[in-house]
Amino acid sequence: MSLSLWLTLVGACLVISCTPGAGAINTMSNSLGSGWTRSIWGILGQQLALLVHIAIVAAGVGVLVSRSQVTFDAIRYVGAAYLVYLGVRQFRAQTAMGGVALLDREPAWSMFRRGLLVNLTNPKAIVFFLAFMPQFVRLDRALVPQYAIVAATVVAVDVLVMWFLFASAARGLVRLTARESGRRIVNRVFGGLFVAVGVVLAVVH
């Protein structure tokens, strides 16, 4: 891959990662609940899901998923239901005394698993990569190294954006969450956002 093509790839990845979605909401929620540093676990889970999507597309299975309306809809509705579930749980989250939310100290594996599921249950990511990846892959050259470069670039850019943009942005709400009323507002806002994204995922084709 030429330097100019790779820089184009980086630019495209930045635009994609900076677009708010379920992953960004999940990252901000983790940063507020467990701290900026520990939010990386949820981000890493999201990256594993992206790698799975890329592998599916590279293997050609993505074409089958995108052409099978039943399979696509089944994954889409499961993903939407999971986001709504996360939203309802966040909306109803209780707060503890002493200015510490009950979601504090959430195990790293729990955040990693949720990040994985949030991105993994989005079949539109597969369709997106089907349209996105061919722009940066040449069939007359070895495919594995090219897919590896694309995957590494997508993951690196997304980690940086999620951690240093969205997770950092959530830190600005720390003062609000110092009070129980503030934590309740934040829980309801993020819960509502999760539900909204889930509904959009289920309704918009």
* 73 inside domain: yes
Give every residue of the chain whose pLDDT is below 50, as ranges: 96-103
Look at the chain and report how many structural domains it folds into. Answer: 1
The enclosing domain of 133 has a CATH number of 1.20.1250
What pLDDT is attached to residue 193?
75
* 41 inside domain: yes
Domain that holds residue 38: 3-12+22-203
H, E, C per residue of the chain: CCHHHHHHHHHHHHHHHHCCCHHHHHHHHHHHHHCCCCCHHHHHHHHHHHHHHHHHHHHCHHHHHHHCHHHHHHHHHHHHHHHHHHHHHHHCCCECHHHCECCCCCCHHHHHHHHHHHHHCCHHHHHHHHHHHHHHCCCCCCHHHHHHHHHHHHHHHHHHHHHHHHHHHHHHHCCHHHCHHHHHHHHHHHHHHHHHHHHHHHHCC
What pLDDT is attached to residue 96?
41
What pLDDT is attached to residue 202?
72
* 17 inside domain: no
* pLDDT tens digits, 124-173: 677 778 777 777 877 778 888 888 999 999 999 999 999 998 898 887 76
